[in-house]
Amino acid sequence: MEERWSLSVDRIREIESEPQLKESFGSYFRQVASFLLKIADLYEKQSDLKSEDVWNEETIQSLYAELEERSYVNSYTNPAYAVSRFGEEMGRLLSFVYAEMYSLPSYVAEGDQFEILIRFEWFVEIYCIFEENEYESEVQKSNRKDEQEGCGGKGICKEADPEPKSGTLYEAVWECCYWFISDYLDVEMEKRVGEKVDPSFDFAYRLIMESDLSDLSYLYRYGEFITDNQIRTAELLNEMPEEELQKMADTYTEGYRIGFIKGNKDISKKEVVNIIYPIGFEKVIKLAIANFDKMGLKAALMRTPHSVFHKRGTAVSGYYSTSPNRQFDYDHREDDALFLDKKLINRKLEVLKEAYIKYEEIAAKHGGPAWIEVFGEKNFAPIDKPEACHYSEKQQKLAVNYAAQSGKIINTYIPGEERSFTIIAYPIPEIGEDYREIMKETIALNTLPYEKYEDVQQILIDALDLCEYVRVQGMNGNRTDLKIELCKLENPEKMTKFENCVADVNIPVGEVFTSPVLKGTEGVLHVKRVYLRDLSYENLEISFKDGMVGDYSCTNYEDQEQNKKYIKDHVLQHYNSLPMGEFAIGTNTTAYVMGRKYGIEDKLPILIAEKTGPHFAVGDTCYSHAEDVAVFNPDQKEIIARDNEISLLRKDEEKKDQAYFQCHTDITIPYDELGRLYGVTKEGEEIDFIIKGRFVLPGTEMLNVPLDENVETGSD
């Protein structure tokens, strides 16, 4: 390892000082080499010194400077700039290579020389290819130009495989990249699964438990980009009384424990909990680790992925920080489109299974994730650059297939019917000058007494159980008009259609939900503005026919085709259609009022937003992979609406692969856009639940109190 390290670093130094290539490519390799030498220098210093002597604000700013907005415009990490310099094919490829190098700071922080070294060697190998093939022939250039024009100028034909024509410089570089990914997939997948299920991967655990958390320099030792969001969050938590921090931790961990009880699952079989959290919350996480330890659960903490080996779009799936540039993340969300083919998908599935086989014993004791998420980032409407990598239609199908098959593998080794989860959210300083007040109100919101909500929500459920279907209609410019078909109750004395959800897996309190019957569920869902998976949507409109997504549109872009692609990529997760997996009525009017009070409705995470009105999820049901586990409400009635016509396909041997989608996205209609929500009984009687944003069912009046107080303050 040391010999390989010395050879690669020496070669990179030569590239930085005297690249033998013509200026266009020479500039690229010089720039990347300079970044890699920073990485090498940092790693070597960290090996000789204590990490606190190496990681600081200056180090972080230096590493991520090129990704910041002003620098990014003329950076080779920007595919638009790289394509302008090198053409579509080579520009995309070289931009991907440089973007992958930004996974390195985290490996330096962890002291993982192997991960750094393989990328160094890969870069040197690419440079050598250019050195040996400095100039393509004019014939090759001409041929490639003809091919690109035949593909609509996009560089890769819509239905073509990603593999390029032979005999070109691009082909040689492409093959080098393809085999880098393919060859190291087994190592990378094994490590990722290990980090998820095995507490012995303890980098973050040691950082939290061994650091003086009152000295905020610990934040930089993650190797992540650190901003005021992380610094001011940690400062605020340091100022809070210990009992307040303990209350935050208790709410979080108790929700996880109660999730097992309500889901009729045995937590005593579990030994590991996967904690996912935003950097800056370590004070709370340290207390949560102690709470979980008392439950017999050890904490597994993994970093959110930055490498093409593990990224899934822009989704977070581990401890995380504020991105240095969300457009950079968006531009590189589908970099694997450069290589994604059936052969690579099969290899990914093969090595994923092998990794779980290795960790089979401990994976079986994995209880599921406990999430803390944050809200308050400035709304982000990404630029969808044609120069960035995009999946072809063929690749979208491959990605969908991989999601389904990988989900099956994970469910085999971490059975869905035995695991649970919890999720809670807090604001970050970027939310604005009212940050401290919003944090205080959010803590209060997350600890609302659930008993009152439980009783009121039972009144809603008792009335909903009388209904054959529910009708939802918008107002104030909201064009929603939906009919939601409900399941039939064979034994109303012992069965119910809706779950009475208080504050367990989904914190804060406040919703009743069901899995709709797909046949007969139809109409239009419209929201004027919504924020989903860190992306904003203007006038999102989705039509349903027999519970399945039909047409859809939004007004983010002038081009309607671009709007459709945006929705398909991020809401539908590349599927042509998804079922309505959930219908719910949110009852947390306090959360709604908080959003209105501070003007942050569009910044509330779906976790809170879904409690502020009726919401509808596209994708799997709330009971995905655990439909056969009996679940009961506090009144001891069994919730029987755990399946729909799609999830039931799991029982059909020929169609079982079509039962799950591995996604679930909630879309909420706020109270001020809700004209009427009513149910219709078998006899045709209409039962009103909400009219003009107010609960009208007798016994639910308490839910209007926060709304009415809001009117009195003149802020409605």
> Which three-class secondary structure string do you get for 14-26?
HHHHCCCCCHHHH
Is the pLDDT reported for residue 435 higher than 90? Answer: yes
- Give the C-alpha separation, 702 to 542, whole Å: 32
Per-residue model confidence (pLDDT) at position 166: 56
Q: What is the mean pLDDT of residues 232-247?
A: 97
Is the pLDDT reported for residue 498 higher than 90? Answer: yes
Report pLDDT digits (tens) over 133-165. Answer: 764 433 344 444 444 444 433 333 334 456 665
Per-residue model confidence (pLDDT) at position 161: 55
Which residue matches tokens 């400077």? 65
Encoded tokens for 3: 């010999």
Q: In which band, very low, low, confident or very high, does the pLDDT at 527 lie, cut at 50, 70 and 90?
A: very high
Q: In which band, very low, low, confident or very high, does the pLDDT at 177 lie, cut at 50, 70 and 90?
A: very high
The model's pTM: 0.85
Encoded tokens for 284: 């709370």
Is the pLDDT reported for residue 40 higher than 50? Answer: yes
Q: In which band, very low, low, confident or very high, does the pLDDT at 534 lie, cut at 50, 70 and 90?
A: confident
CA distances from 92 to 89, 354, 570 (A): 6, 32, 21
Is the pLDDT reported for residue 619 higher than 50? Answer: yes
Report the share of the chain in percent with pLDDT over 90.
Answer: 74
Vertex 649: Cα angle to 647 and 654 (nearest 5): 150
Q: In which band, very low, low, confident or very high, does the pLDDT at 244 lie, cut at 50, 70 and 90?
A: very high
Q: What is the mean pLDDT of residues 571-585?
A: 94
Q: In which band, very low, low, confident or very high, does the pLDDT at 91 lie, cut at 50, 70 and 90?
A: very high
Q: In which band, very low, low, confident or very high, does the pLDDT at 167 lie, cut at 50, 70 and 90?
A: low
- Give the C-alpha separation, 221 to 232, whole Å: 17
Task: Please give the helix or strand (H or E) that residue 138 lies within, else none.
Answer: helix 138-150
Q: Is 91 left (phi over 0), alpha (psi -120 to 50) or beta?
A: alpha
Q: Give every CB contact of residue 312 below 8 A, 6+ residues apart in sequence.
A: 305
Q: How distant is the alpha carbon of residue 395 from its chain centre?
A: 20
Is the pLDDT reported for residue 392 higher than 50? Answer: yes
Q: Give SS3 for 567.
A: helix
Report pLDDT digits (tens) over 659-683. Answer: 999 889 999 998 889 999 999 999 9
Q: What's the burial of 478, exposed, middle or buried (CB within 10 Å: 0-12/13-18/19+)?
A: buried
Q: What is the mean pLDDT of residues 304-332?
A: 92
Per-residue model confidence (pLDDT) at position 168: 86
- Give the C-alpha separation, 571 to 535, whole Å: 10
Per-residue model confidence (pLDDT) at position 503: 62
Q: Which residues of 232-263 are buried (b: 16+ CB within 10 A; e: fewer)?
A: bbbebbeebeeeebbbbbebbbbbbbbbbebb
- Give the C-alpha separation, 445 to 435, whole Å: 15
Closest-CA residue to 533 (of 315, 342, 356): 315
Lowest-pLDDT range of 192-201, 232-241, 416-425, 528-537: 528-537
Q: Give every CB contact of residue 14 below 8 A, 6+ residues apart in sequence.
A: none
Report pLDDT digits (tens) over 349-389. Answer: 999 999 999 999 999 999 999 999 999 998 887 899 999 99
Q: What is the mean pLDDT of residues 507-536?
A: 91
Contact 536, 294 (CB under 8 A): no
Report pLDDT digits (tens) over 646-661. Answer: 999 999 988 988 999 9
Exposure of 605 in the CB half-sphere (CA atoms within 13 A) = 19
Report the share of the chain in percent with pLDDT over 70.
Answer: 93
Contact 201, 295 (CB under 8 A): no
Contact 433, 642 (CB under 8 A): no
Report pLDDT digits (tens) over 182-205. Answer: 999 999 999 999 999 999 999 999
Q: What is the mean pLDDT of residues 90-112?
A: 97
Is the pLDDT reported for residue 543 higher than 60? Answer: yes
Which residue matches tokens 């400062």? 235
> Which residue blocks in 571-695 are alpha helix, DSSP H?
589-598, 606-609
Per-residue model confidence (pLDDT) at position 154: 35
Is the pLDDT reported for residue 713 higher than 90? Answer: no
Averaged confidence pLDDT in the chain: 90
Per-residue model confidence (pLDDT) at position 313: 76
- Give the C-alpha separation, 624 to 607, whole Å: 18
Per-residue model confidence (pLDDT) at position 164: 64
Is the pLDDT reported for residue 261 higher than 90? Answer: no
